[in-house]
Amino acid sequence: MKSEMLKKFIENSTGDSISSRKYYHFEYEESEGKGKARLIDDRGYEVSIPEAALIIEGLNNAYIIPDEEEVNDYLNNRNAKNALQDDLRFENLRITGKLFRVDRKRNWGFTCASCKKKVISEDNKIWWVIEGYDFTSDDKYCSEECAYPLHNEMLENIKKSIYKRYNIDY
Ligand SMILES: [Zn+2]
C-alpha cells in the first residue's frame, strides 16, 4: 500500500511530459546539533510530511535495510567462500618436486604425463607430482608448468562442487 503511494509519488514527480515533471532539491539546516535535510519542490515548497515520510521509507528500504534476499545471497556467498577455504586446506593439493635418487645403478626415467617428454635421471635432478591429502597418482611431470593445468583443474573442481552445494552460479 505504502509502496504503491511511493511509486505514484515518484512517477508523478518524474513523469514524461514536461509539464508534469517536478524537480526537487535539498535544503540543509542545523538545529540542536543535528544536520537536517529538507526536500523542496521546484516551486520552492517543502514536500508535505506524509510525502517526506514515504520518501524516507523508500530510501530506508533501498539504503539502510537491505533486502532479505540480498542478505541471504551475501551470507550464502560468504559461507561458500569459508567452505572453499576449508576444503582447499583439507585437500592440500599441491605440486611437489622430488629428487631423483642418485644411488640407483641404472638410469631411471618416465614420460611426462603432460607434454609426453621422456625424462631420465641422468639429465635431471627433480621430477614433479601432484599430491594431496586424499589424492595420489602415478602421473609424473617434467616441470611444475606441466603439472599446473591439472592441478588448477582439480582446484577448480573443488570450487565448482562447493559452489554447487551452495547453489551459487559458477
Ligand atoms: Zn612435461
pLDDT attached to residue 15: 53
pLDDT attached to residue 1: 62
How many Å lie between the centroid of ligand 1 and the Cα of residue 147? 8
**What mean pLDDT is predicted for residues 95-100?**
92
Q: Are 24 and 41 in contact (CB under 8 A)?
A: yes
How many Å lie between the centroid of ligand 1 and the Cα of residue 70? 46
Q: Which of 46, 49, 45, 59 shows the shortest CA–CA distance to 3?
A: 59
pLDDT in tens, 115-160: 999 998 888 789 999 999 989 899 999 999 999 999 999 999 999 9
pLDDT attached to residue 106: 80
Q: Are 114 and 149 in contact (CB under 8 A)?
A: yes
How many Å lie between the centroid of ligand 1 and the Cα of residue 48? 75
Band of residue 21 on the pLDDT scale cut at 50, 70, 90: low
Domain ranges of the chain: 2-65, 69-165
How many Å lie between the centroid of ligand 1 and the Cα of residue 118? 8
How many Å lie between the centroid of ligand 1 and the Cα of residue 116? 6
pTM of the model: 0.58
How many Å lie between the centroid of ligand 1 and the Cα of residue 163? 31
Band of residue 8 on the pLDDT scale cut at 50, 70, 90: confident
Distance between CA atoms of 23 and 18, rounded to whole angstroms? 11
How many residues comprise the chain?
Answer: 170
- Is the predicted pLDDT of residue 14 greater than 70, yes or no? no
**What mean pLDDT is predicted for residues 18-47?**
84
